[in-house]
Amino acid sequence: MMVSRSATFIAGVLALALPLTANGFVVPPPDNLQAFLERPGNVNPSSNPIPTEDEAAFTRPSWFTSALMARRLLALSPSGVISTTFPESLSAHDPKDIAGLSIGLREYIADCDSSLPSDLSHDDNGDPTILGLRIGTTFKNIAAGSNLSLQLDWWDHLNEAGPVYPGLPLSAAALPRVTLFGYLEHLPSPLPHDAAAALEKCFLEPHPDAKVWLPGASYSPHASFWARLVVTHAYWIGGFGDVQQIGWLNLTEWQGIRPHGSVEGVGDGRGWQDIRLPGEKL
């Protein structure tokens, strides 16, 4: 479990019957927290009961709700950190001993699959759209055979989200993040005119500056290409493990969620537009 002992420790005191907010976050009543802070001996986690799995699970959003939050996080994320590894054969400019080292670099992304025509889209299944630059380290490593993952998080929203436990300091560690594993698939080049126009409209909304290096732009300083990350695994950290899920998302659920509802056989009728991330207004 990727949770600090102290988070679990706090949860041990607060775990029972906490109200779930609409966005899936748990808000312990302030009275409980005060009582907890004033109890003698509370500085030593080992002297406090740790909640059983059943008690803790009672306070967490379901895995499907977590998948909804993860798909919303993708939909609202304009960028994410792509991790790749340096290949064995490096350019003369690179230090000799970096082969095999991993490097995480923030890249522009957008959840634009649904803007593609049906013969080119993956039916809005959560495969992020990426505008790759051939000169970029991320894309050179991938071209040389590197695996990749894409990490998204909600940490910029700390001030709106407020503290998980009222009275405690703000904690970015309590906010959601998801890491998507998979492979990069190039979209056909050039894209049919209508498809290119639709994709550009969607992608340039969060990234108006990227107009300069769109694929085929004659004035672009760098050659670029459209691609998608075909997601094969999704690892979710909802926040502190006592009040959020941590682990592998069900890929069928990840792929089946739509803005409103989901594909047949998945979920409970809700889509990612029916949920809010910490600090968002309903």
Ligand X SMILES: *[C@@H]1O[C@H](CO)[C@@H](O)[C@H](O)[C@H]1NC(C)=O
C-alpha distances in angstroms, 128 versus 6, 122, 140, 178? 35, 10, 19, 13
Q: What track of x and - describes contact with ligand X for positions 238 through 267 (by CB under 6 A)?
A: ------------x-xx-----------xx-
Minimum CB distance to ligand X, residue 231 (Å): 13
- Please give the radius of gyration of the chain, using alpha carbons only, rounded to the nearest integer: 21
Measured from the CB atom, the residue of 79 and 147 that comes closer to ligand X is 147
Sign of torsion over alpha carbons 233, 20, 75, 157? negative
Residue 103 contacts ligand X per CB under 6 A: no
Measured from the CB atom, the residue of 215 and 238 that comes closer to ligand X is 238
Number of residues this chain uses to bind ligand X (CB under 6 A): 8
Minimum CB distance to ligand X, residue 266 (Å): 5
Other beta carbons within 10 angstroms of residue 213's beta carbon come to: 18
Residue 147 contacts ligand X per CB under 6 A: yes
What is the per-residue DSSP string for 245-273?
-EEEPPHHHHHHB-SSSBSTTSSSS--GG
Minimum CB distance to ligand X, residue 267 (Å): 7
Residue whose entry in the numeric block shows the structure tokens 């926040």? 239
Token pair recorded at residue 271: 């889509």
Question: DSSP label at 119?
Answer: T
Minimum CB distance to ligand X, residue 38 (Å): 43
Question: Can you tell me the distance from the alpha carbon of 158 to that of 241, in angstroms, rounded to the nearest whole number?
Answer: 18
Question: Can you tell me the distance from the alpha carbon of 218 to that of 194, in angstroms, rounded to the nearest whole number?
Answer: 19
Minimum CB distance to ligand X, residue 145 (Å): 5
Residue 23 contacts ligand X per CB under 6 A: no
Residue 179 contacts ligand X per CB under 6 A: no
Measured from the CB atom, the residue of 144 and 214 that comes closer to ligand X is 144
- Choose which of 65, 77, 146, 255 interacts with ligand X (CB under 6 A): 146
Stretch that binds ligand X, among 18-26, 34-42, 144-152, 223-231 (CB under 6 A): 144-152
Measured from the CB atom, the residue of 51 and 132 that comes closer to ligand X is 132
Measured from the CB atom, the residue of 57 and 168 that comes closer to ligand X is 57
Minimum CB distance to ligand X, residue 83 (Å): 12
DSSP run (H or E) holding 55: helix 53-58
280 in Cβ contact with 274 (< 8 Å): no
Question: Can you tell me the distance from the alpha carbon of 54 to that of 30, in angstroms, rounded to the nearest whole number?
Answer: 23
Stretch that binds ligand X, among 141-149, 187-195, 214-222, 234-242 (CB under 6 A): 141-149
DSSP run (H or E) holding 46: none
Sign of torsion over alpha carbons 243, 247, 253, 257? positive
Minimum CB distance to ligand X, residue 262 (Å): 9
Binding site for ligand X (CB under 6 A): 145-147, 250, 252-253, 265-266
